[in-house]
Chain A
């Protein structure tokens, strides 16, 4: 089955700096890669996703890049703010005709230092 590795497990950055979280996946058939943000005591929320036919996607301060050859994808947050502090999860899935399951990374705890 699919295996997703995520690094780093913790990350502290100064407010205003950029943060990068990286994930690798094992199954070359994976074609959908979402990122989730989980605030303390809440359920994870989808913040951005990318499909395998796209190399990069951006939404304001957040961007995701995908390298299919190397089987890795990354989350980039620019101009970080205190409210960006949370746990971030990457995930991957394979199209399976309505029976998709996400395989999650182990999470990155991001702390923004004011």
Chain B
């Protein structure tokens, strides 16, 4: 069966510090991968998606970047965090051989102080 792992679960970082959030998927090959952000009490904002290694599409201009160094690994990064980067970050994957929606990870709660 397929599983998605996201870490860390919570993170408190000072303004101006770097960020690296990691997401890995097991049990499938060549998944589509997605990073979403959810502000407190708000909806889901798509940040990045990837259809293959090294292929990243950005949906919203911002202080963040994403990379996909391996087929089932998706990394969200920032060189210098802003207060506005605080939120709940969710990674998700979708199969490419027939679309059945996304499977989300458990999320990372990021607080920038």
Contact = CB atoms under 8 A, between A and B. Distances in A.
Interface of A: 32, 34, 36, 41-46, 49, 89, 91, 93, 95, 98-102, 104-107
Interface in B6-58: 6, 32, 34, 42-44, 46, 49, 51
Contact of B44 (A42, A49, A93, A104): A104
A42 B96 contact: no
Contacts of B90: 43-44
Interface of B: 6, 32, 34, 42-44, 46, 49, 51, 90, 92, 94, 96-97, 99-107, 109
Contacts of A91: 101
Nearest to A4: B43
Contacts of A98: 32, 51, 96-97, 99
Contacts, number: 54
Nearest to B102: A102
Interface of A is mostly: loop
14 contacts: A34-B102, A42-B106, A42-B107, A44-B44, A44-B104, A45-B104, A46-B102, A49-B100, A99-B51, A100-B32, A102-B101, A104-B43, A106-B43, A107-B43
A46 B92 CA distance: 12
A98 B51 CA distance: 8
A45 B49 CA distance: 19
A69 B11 CA distance: 46
Nearest to A33: B101
Contacts of A106: 42-43
Given A44-B44, A106-B43, A95 B103 contact: no
A100 B43 contact: no
Contacts of A104: 43-44
Contacts of A95: 99
A91 to B, nearest CB: 7
A89 B109 contact: no
